[in-house]
Amino acid sequence: MKMEVWLIIFFLIFLGIIFWFEEKRKKEIQEIKEKILIQSAFQESLEKTTKEMRDLSRDLLEEIRKRDEIRKEREKEFFERIKRLDQILTGTTTKGSSGEEILREAFKKLPPEMIETNFKVGGKIVEFALLLPNGKRLPIDSKWPASKLILDLEKEENVEKKKEIIKEIEKEVIKKVKEVKQYIDPDLTWSQAIAAIPDSVY
C-alpha cells in the first residue's frame, strides 16, 4: 500500500515538473513571438519612414528645382528690364531739359506697369521706381542740383579754374550717391538705387 502511495506521489511530481517545463516553454515561445512581432512592426515602421523620407526628399528636390527655375526666370526678366532701361536712357539725346523731364519722356517707351512715379520709401519720395519681377522697386533719382557747375565748366577756358569746377562736380556726385542711399529699404527695394547723372559730368 505504501509503495502505491509513493508511486502516485512520484507520478504527480513528475507531471508537475512536466507541466512546469511546458508552461515555461510556452512562455518562452510567447516572448519570442512578441519579440518577432515587435521587430516586424519596427521593420515595417522603419520601411514606412524610409519611404516617407524618400518621398519627402524627392518632393523637396522637386520644389527646389521649381524655385530655382522661377528664380532664374525672375533674374532673366530683371536683367532684361535693366538692359532695356539702360538702352532707353543711353539713347536719350534731349538737351536743355531737367533730368526728371528727360526720364519721364524716356520712360514713355516702357510699359506703364513697369514704372512707378513718386514712390515713397523711408518717409521720402523718389521721382521714379522700376518695378522688379520679385515685387520690389529699383529707385531712380532724377534730380541733379549742380547744373550750374556743368554750365560753368563748359564756358570756362582757364585750365586751373576748370580743375576746380571738376572737383566741385565730383563732390556733388559723391553727395548725390549718399543721398540716393536713403531710398534703399530691404523690405521694399532692391539693394541698390540709381542716380541719374548728366552725360556731361563724365
36 & 101 share domain: no
pLDDT tens-digit map of 19-67: 777 777 778 777 777 777 777 777 777 777 777 788 777 888 888 888 8
**156: domain range?**
95-201
52 & 84 share domain: yes
Last residue of a domain, one of 31, 57, 91: 91
| Nearest C-alpha neighbor of 96 from the set 168, 173, 169, 151 | 151
Last residue of a domain, one of 26, 60, 91: 91
In the predicted model, what is the mean pLDDT of residues 71-89?
A: 64
- The total of structural domains in the chain comes to 2
Residue-level pLDDT at 40: 73
109 & 85 share domain: no
Letter string b/e over residues 66-102, b meaning 16 or more CB atoms within 10 A of that residue's CB:
eeeeeeeeeeeebeebeeebeebbeebeeeeeebbeb
**Does 90 score more than 80 pLDDT?**
no
pLDDT tens-digit map of 109-122: 777 888 888 889 88
52 & 100 share domain: no
Last residue of a domain, one of 76, 91, 106: 91
pTM to 2 decimal places: 0.48
